Structure 1
Amino acid sequence: MTDPAVPLSDATAPQVSRRDERLGIALVFLSALMWSLGGAIGRFIEIDDIWTVVFWRSFWAAAFLLAFMVWRDGFRGTLQLFRGMGLPGLLVAICFATASTSFVIALAYTTVANVLLMQAGVPLLAALFAWVLFRERVALATWAAILAVIVGVAIMVSESLTGKVSPIGDGLALLIAVVFSIATVITRRFSHVRMTPATCLGTMIAAAFAASQASAFAVSPREMGFLFAFGVVNLGLGLAFFATGARLIPAAVAALIGTFEPMLGPIWVWLVHSEVPSLRTISGGAVIFVALLVHLGLEFRRQAQPQRPGVTGMPMPD
């Protein structure tokens, strides 16, 4: 059992101050909040060609992220960020592009429930990758929370598991979980690298691929408004928050907080579109909520305790 006063990661992982850890937790939660709005926003869009939706969503996300970097760092600073992200940034970009593209294809073969169930394994995969590759330790409480989240999501989607099942669709759903876990671990491990340009490049790659598959690009002003929100609010802001926050906290914790997304998604659809979630959805969401709430409470309690000499981390670079 990890001593409460010792950070979850060992000496091989980047050390951060407790203030930065709290900031990282808040930013990753905001990313999950933005991503959870996807279902509610997507229900307003009535376009037959899904690749047209993917293109405009990725286009507006890329435009937002690029404008944000130019506003924050200037043109020269933005170019330096793209040049400085190196191989880690390129790998993160490929991971996000793969995940967003695979998500669309997976839904054509399997059910949303199966995809959500696969996503529940992201915290476990991130913890395993971080431990195997970088020996980043994971506290017993985090493992317990990961298990509770998997159980909660399984309850949420259990009613739909009898739907159409395809090796291709479920394989792509598993691929989404794997590449997102890898992106989380890389972002944490190379915390000195700004990953906002990597997420921007990822949306550009996804947009380019969707453009090669789309049959048309013309949409009505109404649809374009929702596509703008779909790209900027749901995808762009979510990626910006995640890329900034995930480098400040252990990979397993970042992935764990990210599971707020499948829990909050049905709630937004219920509030906006009056689609009442089933009893199992509510029950599973309650399990996830309690697990995350308890885990975050333990994290803040650990951070509130005095640190031992020599374990205080340096603030992360801006």
Structure 2
Amino acid sequence: MSISAVPLPPVAGPDPVKTTSEAAIGCLLVAGAAIAWSTGGALTRFVEANDNWTIVFWRSVFAALFLLCFMLVRDGPRGTWRLFQHMGLAGLGVAICFAIASSCFIIALSYTTVANVLLLQAGVPLFAALISWILFRERISSATWIAIAVVIAGVAIMVSDSLDGEVSPIGDMLALLIAISFAIATVITRRKAHLRMTPAVFLGVVIAACVASTMAGQFSTSARDFVLLFALGAVNLGLGLAFFVSGARLIPSALAALISTLEPVLGPVWVWLLHNEVPAPRTIIGGAIILCALLLHLGWEYRRQKRVAAVAR
């Protein structure tokens, strides 16, 4: 599943002591994460297994193993244990959201195009702002309100394909559920600034694997599918997250989000090149509207963060 919408670390801007080279490394790592995540749809299209829950199970198992090894290497056994101890109910909430999203990603691809799934997720930061306003009455700037309205219009255009049978409404509804789940996880993460993403996501894929184990019709797959599922779990999901959490703390959060939009841009391109899956015209139009709104808003936010950092110095 794509996780370009994964909650950003609550970082207002780069630490003044960060060097230019560290910031460059941060940009490269976040870009690497976006590229890794963008391969999810193309890899899934290569899998021949007919049981979606079997795919969810093995992908989640491999992702969990990779993330556990990553934490053990980075933080050591004691540090990893402390991460889980300090995760709290907020971490459990993020884990549940991620379990829902990661499971729905595979199922949604059976009903709709990769472009529909990825481009709908591009609006997650703005959906999160809307949820924060509804639940906590957090102030939303005029620029953000405009961006939210434009994104909703883009989503409406994309989803309209399902009204005349171009794509299944089930797929688009699952794609929206993915976006909403990630938006809720983003809100939780912002309100609990101490929350570490990696253990929460690890728990999320473990939950997804447990649920999938009860739903899967079988666990056996071909050797070819097994390799593809390993790549989906360890590389697409696990390595992408490892790159992101390592790089996002070295650069402003708006810049990290901006670079992460490489994923919804590249994802449909890989599927088009490798599988000749061409998005419908309304998907392209609606997706372009969403991406433009997001890029303009993130550019505005990045400039605002730079001004705040300059004043703080």
Cα separation, partners in 2 of 1:139 and 1:118, compared to 1, 3 Å: same
Cα separation, partners in 2 of 1:273 and 1:186, compared to 1, 3 Å: same
Q: List gaps (5 residues or longer) in structure 2.
A: 1-9, 17-22
Name which of 71, 76, 86 aligns with 2:73.
Answer: 71
Amino acid at match of 1:218: S
Amino acid at match of 2:213: A
Cα separation, partners in 2 of 1:36 and 1:186, compared to 1, 3 Å: same
2:183 — aligned with what? 181
1:6 — aligned with what? none
1:52 — aligned with what? 54
Cα separation, partners in 2 of 1:124 and 1:254, compared to 1, 3 Å: farther
Report the identity percentage.
60
User: How far is the alpha carbon of 1:116 from its aligned partner?
Assistant: 6.5
Structure 1 contact 120–153 (Cα < 8 Å) conserved: no
Structure 1 contact 151–284 (Cα < 8 Å) conserved: yes
Measure the CA separation in 2 of the matches of 1:98 and 1:235. Answer: 15
Name which of 100, 103, 117 aligns with 1:101.
Answer: 103
* 1:215-247 deviations in Å (ceiling 9; x for gaps): 22222222122111111222224445666749x
CA RMSD of aligned residues (A): 3.9
Measure the CA separation in 2 of the matches of 1:19 and 1:235. Answer: 28
Measure the CA separation in 1 of the matches of 2:27 and 2:297. Answer: 12
Matched pairs, number: 296
Q: List gaps (5 residues or longer) in structure 1.
A: 1-13, 313-318
Name which of 207, 215, 220 aligns with 2:209.
Answer: 207
Measure the CA separation in 1 of the matches of 2:135 and 2:53. Answer: 36
Amino acid at match of 2:146: A
Structure 1 contact 199–240 (Cα < 8 Å) conserved: no
Measure the CA separation in 2 of the matches of 1:157 and 1:175. Answer: 13
Q: After superposition, where does 1:234-313 map in structure 2 within 5 Å?
A: 234-240=236-242, 245=248, 261-305=263-307, 307=309
Name which of 208, 221, 240 aligns with 2:223.
Answer: 221
User: How far is the alpha carbon of 1:300 from its aligned partner?
Assistant: 2.9
User: How far is the alpha carbon of 1:274 from its aligned partner?
Assistant: 3.4
Measure the CA separation in 2 of the matches of 1:149 and 1:28. Answer: 24
Mapped pair 1:16 → 2:2 = no
- Partner of 1:43, secondary structure, is helix
* 1:191-217 deviations in Å (ceiling 9; x for gaps): 212121010010011011111122222
TM (normalized to structure 1)?
Answer: 0.74
* 1:242-286 deviations in Å (ceiling 9; x for gaps): 66749x978x99889876654443222112333344444443443
* 1:67-100 deviations in Å (ceiling 9; x for gaps): 1100100111111111111111111111111222
1:233 — aligned with what? 235
Cα separation, partners in 2 of 1:45 and 1:68, compared to 1, 3 Å: same
1:3 — aligned with what? none
Amino acid at match of 2:55: V
Measure the CA separation in 2 of the matches of 1:275 and 1:17. Answer: 39
1:190 — aligned with what? 192
Of 252-261 and 88-97, the range deviating more from structure 2:
252-261
Measure the CA separation in 2 of the matches of 1:70 and 1:50. Answer: 30
Structure 1 contact 25–249 (Cα < 8 Å) conserved: no
Cα separation, partners in 2 of 1:270 and 1:290, compared to 1, 3 Å: same
1:141 — aligned with what? 143
Structure 1 contact 18–303 (Cα < 8 Å) conserved: no
Amino acid at match of 1:62: A
User: How far is the alpha carbon of 1:291 from its aligned partner?
Assistant: 2.8
Of 128-137 and 22-31, the range deviating more from structure 2:
22-31
Cα separation, partners in 2 of 1:33 and 1:267, compared to 1, 3 Å: same
User: How far is the alpha carbon of 1:66 from its aligned partner?
Assistant: 0.6
Measure the CA separation in 2 of the matches of 1:172 and 1:288. Answer: 18
Structure 1 contact 92–202 (Cα < 8 Å) conserved: yes
Amino acid at match of 2:128: A
Cα separation, partners in 2 of 1:17 and 1:276, compared to 1, 3 Å: closer
Structure 1 contact 270–276 (Cα < 8 Å) conserved: yes
